Structure 1
C-alpha cells in the first residue's frame, strides 16, 4: 500500500472515531441534562409543591395591571428561563398570561408576542392595556377580537408625531374607538380606563355612551382627558345598573371635569365618585338629585376652578348623601373648609356616617388660615373622624401641637407635605 493510501485510510479511521466520540459526547450531555433536571427537582422546593401552590407563588411575582409590560427580566417571561420545571409550571398557569400591556410603537410585540401570549391564557378572563395611537387599526381589532374574554381594558392614546396637529382638521380632531369593527357586547368587562394624552384630539361622546351600554357588567370606569366631542343630553337618560366606581382624572391627581357624562346616564349602584366641581352642563347638586338611590360611600371633589358652587350649594349637595363615609377635597377655598367643618361640628345629622376627611391644601389662597385650622380642630375633636391633610408648607407649631394632642388621645390624624414628609 502506498503512503498516500495509508494516509487516506488513517484519515477515514480518525473521522470515524470523531463521529463515534461526538455521539458519545451528545449522549453524555443528554444524560447530564437529565441528571441536572432530577437534581433540580430534588432540591427545588417549588418543584416539590403541588401545581396549585407553585402556580399561586408564580402569580405573586406579577406586577399589578396595567403596569405589566412584556419583558424578559420580569414574570412571566422570566420564569420560562429558570429551568424546565419552572417553565412547565408557568405554561400550565393560564392566569400568568391573562394580563398584558402593549405599546404600539413596537409592532413586533403585536404581530409576534401578543397572539402567543394570549393563547397561553386559554379561556381565562383577560386584562389588556393598549398604548399608542387610536388611529391605528390594531386597537379596535384587538378589543373586538377578544371582547368575550375582556375583564379589564385600558386604552391610552398618545400623540403621533407623524401627522399634522391642525385642530381645524376634523379627521385629526376626532378619535374613532371602533374603527371598521362592528361594536358588540363586552359581557365580562368590569374595568374600563380611557386616557387621552393628545390634547388636540377628542373622543366622540356617542361612542363612549355606546361602549358603556355594551358593557352591562361594568363596575369601574375611569375617564381621563378625553375631551369629548359632540355631546348632547338625551331626552331619556339610560341607566347603568352595575357601575360602582366612576373616576374622572388620573390617579394621585386632582379630579377632572366629567365633560358631560354625568348629565347623560343614571348610576343607581354608584358608591364612589371622583370629579371636579366645575362640571359643564350638570352640577354635582343636579347629578345627585337625579340619581334613583344616591348611596355614595366615597366622594373626591376637585375645586381647582373659581367657577364652582358656593359653599351653601355644596352644603345642600352633601346633605343629599348621608351615606358618605370618605370625603376628599382637592384645593378647596378656605371658606369651603370653614363652612364644612362648622357644619360637622354643629350638626350630628350632617354627614352622619363620615369616617375619613382628606384634604389637599393649596398654597395659592391668601386667607386667614387660623380660622381654617381652628375649624378643623373643632370638627375632629367633636366628630372623632380620621383626618388626612397634604400641605405645601409646614403648619404653625401651635397647630401641630394641638393636633398632636388630639392624636395622643386616640384621634387618627395624618399631616404631611406634598413631598411625603410627615409632620404627624
Structure 2
C-alpha cells in the first residue's frame, strides 16, 4: 500500500515537472500577446493623431451630463483598451473628479487601496463623490474620504452614519452640496441634532443640504448656529423631530425649504422664519395623511405663509386636510397681501382616497381666477389607481373657468380625466363662448 502511495506521489511530481515550464511559457505568451495587441491599438488608434489636449477633451465628453455621476467602473474601462488610452485616462484628472462608487459590505484592504488610488487621480481638482454601500460604514474607508476633505465639493452619502466624517475636527471648506439618504435596513439610528450642527460648522460654504432622515436630540439642545451660505434645506420623514433643527438654525439667505410638517410644531417653523427672515422662493410641505389636522392648525399655517411673502412656488404633499386648509385660506385671503408673488402651486394626493368633488373644483376655479394675473402654474397629482368613475368632476361653470385660464396662458394640469373634459368642452362650445 505504501509503495502505491509513493509511486503515485512520484508520478504527480514528474507530471508537475513536465507541465510547469509549459504553463510558464503559455503565461508569458499570453502576456506578450496582450502587449502586442495593445501596441497594435496604439498604432491604429485615431486618438493617436490628435493633440493630447484634444484626446483628453474627448474622454471628458465621454462622461455623463454634469448633473449625473459616472460609475467609476465605466472610467476604469478606459484603462484597459491600450497603452495610449491608459496614459490619456490617467493624465486627464477631471474624469476622476466626479465619481459614483459602491462600497462593498465587506470592504477589504485591497478595495481601500484601489479606492484611495481613484481619488488621488483627480489630484487638485474639486472632488464630487456619490457613495453607496452598507448603512454602517467601514471606518477605514471613511478615513480615505476625510483625507480629501479640503477639496470635496459635492457629497452624497448612503446613510446618516456616514456623517461621522464631519465629527473628526477637520473642515470641509469647499463643500457646497450634501445629500444624505435614509438607511434602508433600519440598522442606523437617526443622527443627533448636535452632530448636524457640527456638519454645518465644518462646511461653511454649504449651499444645498438634503437630509433623508430627521434628527433626534439625544445629547441636549446645541447652541444656535447661523449659516450664511445655505440656500436649500430639505428634511425627509423619519423617526426624529425636524423642530430640533429649526430651533437651532438661523439661515438668512435660505431660498428653498422642504420639511415634514407632521414632525414639527408649526410655531417652531414660524419662529425660525421670523428669526432668519429668509428670501424663501420655494416651500415644500409634507403632512402624513393619518394625522388629525384640526382647525387649531390653521392660524399657525396661515401665519407661516404670511411670513414668506417672497414665495414663488408652494408644493403640498400628503394629508389632504393640509391641502384643503390652504385652499380655504387662499379663497379668503387677498392675493395682494397673502403670497403675492406665488407663481406655481402643486398638490400631490397620491396615497389617499379623499378625492376632489364638484364643490372643491368650484372653489379652486374661483381661487385661480382671482390670481390669474400672478399665478402661472397649477398642478394636482391624483392617485393613478383610481377609475374614471371614482374621480369627482367639476361642473361646467368651473370647467369654463379652467378653459378660459388655460387660453389666457395659465398652465393647469389636473390629470387625464379633467384634461379630457376640458378638451370635450372646447369641442362642443360655440366660438367665443369660452
Instruction: Pick the aligned partner of 2:343 from 345, 355, 366.
Output: 355
Unaligned ranges ≥5, structure 2: 1-27, 424-434
Q: Within 5 Å, which residues of 2 pair with 1:146-157? A: 146-157=148-159
Q: How does 1:20-419 map to 2 (within 5 A)?
A: 30=36, 36-41=41-46, 50-51=54-55, 53-60=57-64, 64-65=68-69, 68-71=70-73, 75-100=74-99, 101-108=101-108, 110-130=111-131, 131-134=133-136, 136-138=138-140, 140-157=142-159, 177-178=163-164, 182-197=168-183, 198-199=185-186, 201-230=189-218, 232-234=220-222, 237-249=224-236, 258=242, 260-280=244-264, 283-291=268-276, 293-304=277-288, 305-306=291-292, 310-331=297-318, 332-333=320-321, 335-343=324-332, 346-362=334-350, 364=352, 366=354, 369-384=357-372, 385=375, 386-392=377-383, 393=386, 395-396=391-392, 398=394, 401-402=399-400, 403-416=402-415
Shift of 1:375: 2.3
**Which residue in 1 is equivalent to 2:20?**
none
CA contact (8 A) 1:223 1:248 kept: yes
Deviation of 1:316 (Å)? 1.8
Structure 1 range deviating more: 77-86 or 176-185: 176-185
Q: Give the distance between the partners of 2:125 and 2:241, measured in 1 at CA.
A: 35
The structural deviation recorded for 1:69 is 3.9
The 2-side partners of 1:255 and 1:64 are apart by 30
Q: 1:415 to 1:138 in 2, by over 3 A?
A: farther
Q: Do 1:248 and 1:256's aligned partners in 2 also have CA atoms closer than 8 Å?
A: no
Q: Is the 8 A contact 2:116 2:144 kept in 1?
A: no
TM-score w.r.t. the length of structure 2 is 0.72
Deviation of the 1:404 alpha carbon: 4.5
Q: Which has the larger share of helix?
A: 2
RMSD of aligned Cα (Å): 3.8
2:172 partner SS: coil
Deviation for aligned residue 1:227: 4.4
CA distance in 2, matches of 1:181, 1:255: 22
Cα distance in 2, alignment partners of residues 265 and 366 from structure 1: 36
Ranges in structure 1 where 5+ consecutive residues have no aligned partner: 1-21, 159-174
> For the structure 1 residues 369 and 91, does the alpha-carbon distance in structure 2 shift closer, same or farther, using more than 3 Å as the test?
same
What's the CA shift string for 1:150-171, capped at 9, x where partnerless? 112222239xxxxxxxxxxxxx
CA separation of 1:92/1:361 partners in 2, compared to 1, >3 Å: closer, same or farther?
same
Deviation at 1:193, TM superposition (A): 2.1
Mark the CA change 1:53 to 1:357 in structure 2 (over 3 Å): closer, same or farther.
Answer: same
Question: Is the contact made by 2:194 and 2:221 (CA closer than 8 Å) also made in structure 1?
Answer: no
The answer as to whether partners of 1:245 and 1:270 remain within 8 angstroms in 2 is: yes
SS state at 1:78 partner: helix
Q: How far apart, in 1, do the equivalents of 2:39 and 2:366 lie? A: 73
Deviation at residue 325 of structure 1 after TM alignment: 0.6
Separation in structure 2 between the aligned mates of residue 356 and residue 99 of structure 1, nearest angstrom: 33
Alpha-carbon separation, structure 1, partners of 2:304 and 2:177: 28
Q: Provide the C-alpha distance between the structure 1 equivalents of 2:198 and 2:92, rounded to a whole number of angstroms.
A: 35
Q: Matched residue of 1:338: which SS?
A: helix
> Aligned to 2:316, what secondary structure does the other structure show?
strand
Whole-angstrom CA distance in 2 between matches of 1:268 and 1:194: 23
